[in-house]
Amino acid sequence: MTTAHSTSTARESAMAQPVTVPPFAVISGAQVQNVLAGREKDIVELIEATYHLHAAGDSVNPPSYFLRFPDRPSSRIIALPASIGGQVRVDGLKWISSFPNNVQAGIPRASAVLILNDHDTGYPFACMESSIISATRTAASAALAADRLSHGRPRPTRIGFFGTGLIARYIHTFLTSTGFTFEQIGIHDLSPDSAAGFRTYLEQTGTTATVSLHDNPEELIRVSDLIVFATIAGTPHVTNPAWFDHNPLVLHISLRDLAPEILLTSANIVDDVEHCLKADTSPHLVEQLTGNRDFLTGTLDDALTGRLTLPTDRPVIFSPFGLGVLDLAVGKYVYDEVARTGQLHIVNDFFHELRRHG
């Protein structure tokens, strides 16, 4: 049988299958957490595979859309539409809000849902709580970057955290679950209560590292060989390149903490060039300042596949914008596991008008 004949037969067979509307399920945050807890290594592998699919062009990841409010300038809701191929084969949308004033009320800053759409019919088949998925894919990406970008230099043993919220907690979990061990953990946060709370959390994990609070950001940077920025900063607040003279690895997760002068003296890795160089991120500010993108060393996928060799004589900064395809990959992983265990909460008759002519 020829290849063309095989393809035609497969297409005819697929067309012969009845097209049906998938059942619609709602997956709670508790279910999401139950699936993901303790599977950090599996999720990091999933994230790496997704980066490869994205780099190979087997995805659609348009720009994120920001909904802003004149009466609440510090708040925003972001839509991240995406589609991923491979074995995942799912489309969808993450709808994630960031309301910093929530923290003062004692509730998390961010909340999110993820919608999964059927590849063949386009019908949504799941809505799931997604702040956990978002934190998980962010932390998995950070852990993957910390591992691969530290090749060729001493393994980091002294970590410093700028920002002490949910993302910082998840990043610490993923780092320690994927082989990192730390002798020192430093903490800096504008809120003393938040810093103290994060310190208590770290101590309760049973860490053997020395945990210390730092009022002085310069001091924290200089004593850390791995630095995690997970803040809500809207503009750069770290401006002195000399603080990085010891050439640390920097996970610039919150994207707007570092002044252009620091990136210009560093090796810069992004997850996706077009996504990262917009919305006044630190890399975007560098492009606006210089008029070019020569400061970029490459993408994380370049590092994962060995297409680039990183220098050891300057800082290495990973600035990930955060790709919707990562949320889809983790969300579909959760959905498949919940379905496998028979725990899907199906909303019967969610789609009601299913006959074209009534």
Locate the domains of the chain by residue range.
23-133+324-346, 152-319
- Give 298's strand partners: 269
d(CA 109, CA 105): 10
CA–CA dist 287, 276 (Å, integer): 11
Q: pLDDT at position 19, please? A: 82
pLDDT at 241: 98
Helical segments of 152-281, H only: 166-177, 192-204, 217-222, 260-263, 273-276
What pLDDT, on a 0 to 100 scale, did the predictor assign at position 355?
80
* Distance of alpha carbon 114 from alpha carbon 335, whole angstroms: 11
Residue 84 in contact with residue 53, Cβ under 8 Å? yes
User: Could you read off the pLDDT of 318-358 as tens digits, one per residue?
Assistant: 999 989 999 999 999 999 999 999 999 999 989 988 887 77
| pLDDT recorded at residue 249 | 98
Tell me the pLDDT tens digit for each residue of 217-249. Answer: 999 999 999 999 999 898 999 999 999 999 999
Q: What is the mean pLDDT of the chain?
A: 93
The pLDDT assigned to 16 comes to 57
pLDDT of residue 11: 47
Tokens of 174: 């993923």
Q: Is there a contact between 300 and 270 (Cβ–Cβ < 8 Å)?
A: yes
* CATH (residue range 23-133+324-346): 3.30.1780.10
Question: What is the Cα–Cα distance from 321 to 315, expressed in whole angstroms?
Answer: 19
Q: Selecting from 2.60.120.200, 2.40.50.140, 3.10.105.10, 3.40.50.720, what CATH number does the domain 152-319 have?
A: 3.40.50.720
pLDDT at 212: 97
Q: Which residues of the chain have pLDDT under 70?
A: 1-16
